[in-house]
Amino acid sequence: MRKFFILMADLDSTFEEYDRSDRGSYISESADQFGEFVSFVEKFEEKHNVDVVIHFVSGTSKQDFCERVQYFKDNYPKIYDRLGHGVVEQGKVVNRAFTQVDFCRTDGVPYTKADAVCKVLENYMPYEVAGACFMGDSRIDVPAFRMLKMFNRYPLGSYAISPRSTRDYFLMNMDADFYSNKPRILGCIEGFNKMSERIEEKQSVKSDERSL
């Protein structure tokens, strides 16, 4: 049985398509940005023999979360099929059927997302998880980055990924394992790719050590 790789992501300005009309002349490398993300996830799953599960951790409202989930269901079923429950405003835990199924106790910002990371991971037995990452682009994501590091016992490791941050560049660049100058989902893809390469490097070193 394959283990899970837990991908946690903020929604606003992170797990979103980049709209060139919003901010200047950045040229996307792909007309179908989420399609590019799906393609990479499938390659990642095959390469590392894992099943990726996506959990959104965001301060967005339940209604906005449900609208995003419905968008993926209608347009990107391969993303929808990988969705686990999300943690949204006020610590509400909502599944992809739009039902609130639990509540995440939290002390509030900036600890909300750190508490949400714990809430997501406590639903898995340690032996079920191969690795995990968190994608975010602002200072309120940093506690989530740091909390995730406490779960670094996973075989493939735990990683913090940041797409381009226009608000908190220095802080994100310092705390993220992988920082991308590309915005939103494009930056997530690049960071995810760098993470995959790091995992391969670690596995190669372990293989060399065993052969000595």
pLDDT value for 21? 55
pLDDT value for 211? 62
Which residues constitute the domain of residue 180?
3-211
pLDDT value for 46? 96
To the nearest whole percent, how much of the chain has pLDDT over 70? 89
pLDDT band at 24 (very low <50, low <70, confident <90, very high): very low
CATH number of the domain enclosing 128: 3.40.50.1000
pLDDT value for 209? 63
pLDDT value for 17? 87
Q: Between these two residues, 208 and 112, which has the higher pLDDT value? A: 112
Q: Is 192 a residue whose pLDDT tops 90?
A: yes
Residues 134-163: what's their mean pLDDT? 90
Give the 3-state secondary structure of the chain: CCEEEEEEECCCCCCCCCCCCCCCCCCCCCCCHHHHHHHHHHHHHHHHCEEEEEEEECCCCHHHHHHHHHHHHHHCHHHHCCECCEECHHHEEECCCCCEEEECCCCCCCCHHHHHHHHHHCCCCHHHEEEEEEECCCHHHHHHHHHHHHHCCCCCCEEEEECCCCCCHHHHHHHCCEECCCCHHHHHHHHHHHHHHHHHHHHHHHHHHHHC
| Domain count for the chain | 1
Q: Is 55 a residue whose pLDDT tops 90?
A: yes
pLDDT value for 165? 79
pLDDT value for 210? 67
